[in-house]
Amino acid sequence: MPYDPSDFPPFAVTVDLVVLTVRRHSLCSLAVRRGESPFKGRWALPGGFVRPDEDLAQAAARELAEETGLCVHDPAAPAQDNGAHLEQLATYGDPGRDPRMRVVSVAHLALAPDLPAPRAGGDASNARWAPVEELLGQNGYGREGEPVAPLAFDHAQILADGVERARSKIEYSSLATAFCPPEFTVGELRRVYEAVWGVALDPRNFHRKVTGTPGFLVPTGGTTTRQGGRPAQLFRAGGATLLNPPMLRPEV
Amino acid sequence: MPYDPSDFPPFAVTVDLVVLTVRRHSLCSLAVRRGESPFKGRWALPGGFVRPDEDLAQAAARELAEETGLCVHDPAAPAQDNGAHLEQLATYGDPGRDPRMRVVSVAHLALAPDLPAPRAGGDASNARWAPVEELLGQNGYGREGEPVAPLAFDHAQILADGVERARSKIEYSSLATAFCPPEFTVGELRRVYEAVWGVALDPRNFHRKVTGTPGFLVPTGGTTTRQGGRPAQLFRAGGATLLNPPMLRPEV
DNA sequence: GTGTTTATCGTCAGGAAGACGACTATGATC
DNA sequence: GATCATAGTCGTCTTCCTGACGATAAACAC
């Protein structure tokens, strides 16, 4: 299908971000409050235009840094600083998804360890970490029973897709470690799985599984008691990215 | 990040298609020959502009129908006609991927049963099914040793991503049946797995696995000897979409 | 010291998968 | 028509992984 460069339908291209973290035993997403119409005052996912000289991944990384200060892990770098995992999620281009014009949004998924506090271009009151069930508002009410306005645009769909991607991807990859600080214990990693999947896991079987998977975890030698109880060994993420056999998400 | 609708960078948005099928025991992709510069005369993936009033999935389905005559399966419809599976793959937006202008391409992956012959807008000489190893030209040479020009634009990357998606997705979903005609035998399904993964599978273990997975296959009652040998039962694809536990791809 | 919490090791039974033997029902060939 | 080659189908055996769960270890709070 040849085409004429001077004659194409005009589109705007944006990146939207699903930034997930685990706080207080629940899976949370970054949300920003819209300051303008449409959907003024409603919560939305962070995002913005792709610049003319910019790759899609670069645009997503730039937006992520602007909103959270996080830099993106270089997959080549073995030891991790305070970086986040970033990957393309999906692209949303319904003709009516933005009432003003035709906007195609390339959504990205970012996974980050628990962060001090969000900043939305310096304005913290317009950004927050919210539990995903609250943002998705299955029943239309938040955790305290207050009514919750749905996310702007089609962002509820995007968030749901991002959460589903994260839930399935930690099954067969070592990505759950992206939710953890550079050094973490087996119990902390287990609480990540429990929060993301919303289930309880047997600590003994989980310990056997993760410590028995080659390349998943490497002991640092240190221990910590920051979770209380008996001191636990500290680990770093190993080089393995694919878990074979995978972690099994309990039925129902 | 509020933005002004009247002031955004101009992008062209296209859909490109990775259309895969299994022919003569090998995984093949649809390729079309470019009639114009740039990359004139080179092979490329089929694709085209998204129209102003069109969803991304609609645009992909339209291109698929134009190139192959295939219609897309309605996931709700139980019994299958000659439709194909279609899903979004990924989006490619490097600033330099098209030398003429900034083009963002939303690639889609289609899986189809073996088809009679391709048609490229009615011109069959400019479209063909080619084994993916040949199109990806790992060594720069085709199966008869002739030099192979790489695919146009970044289409080799897109094709590689599509093939990898197909390879991994048939592990944990019933998607391999999308490569089969409406009624097929266990052996035919096994040959699909063997072609896509490029490995040999044990017929007995494969038979036990697929017939023992609830909802994967439903017997039609008929038999066929079209593969030679003892008559084999015919099956249709069952309602199950996710295989749990998954099919295991043999190590290396 | 006692109780609580978390971490870690061990045991056992059930299920799934790889390796592979055996038998069956066709068409092709002599 | 007997023989052979080809595919399909059913079983067996061993090994590995998982879920359920008992038991011990090492910290802290009182």
Print pLDDT tens along chain A (252 aa).
Answer: 444 555 667 899 999 999 999 999 999 999 999 988 899 999 999 999 999 999 999 999 999 999 888 888 765 554 445 679 999 999 999 999 999 999 999 999 999 998 766 665 555 568 999 999 999 986 566 666 666 778 999 999 999 999 999 999 999 999 999 999 999 999 999 999 999 999 999 999 999 999 999 999 999 999 999 998 999 999 999 999 999 999 999 987
pLDDT greater at residue B36 or residue A211: A211
C-alpha to C-alpha distance for A41 and B107, rounded to whole angstroms: 34
Residue A101: CA count within 13 A, CB half-sphere: 16
Closest CA to B98 of B44, B56, B173: B44
Contact B131/B27 with Cβ under 8 angstroms? Answer: yes
pLDDT greater at residue A215 or residue B9: A215
Q: Which of B3, B33, B100, B106 to mutate to test the interface with A (most CBs of A within 10 A)?
A: B3
**Bridge-based pairing state of the strands B103-111 and B43-44:** unpaired
In one-letter notation, the amino acid at residue B215 is G
Contact B173/B242 with Cβ under 8 angstroms? Answer: yes
pLDDT at B6 over 90: no
Tokens of B216: 């994967």
H or E segment and range at residue A160: helix A155-172
| Nearest DNA or RNA nucleotide to A203 (CA to C1') | C7
Sign of CA dihedral B74, B75, B78, B84: positive
Torsion of CA A167, A136, A83, B160, to 10 degrees: 50
pLDDT greater at residue B165 or residue B121: B165
Q: Contacts of residue B8 in chain A, CB cutoff 8 Å? A: 12, 49, 101
- Strand C nucleotides, any atom under 7 Å from protein beta carbons: they are 4-10, 16-22, 24-27
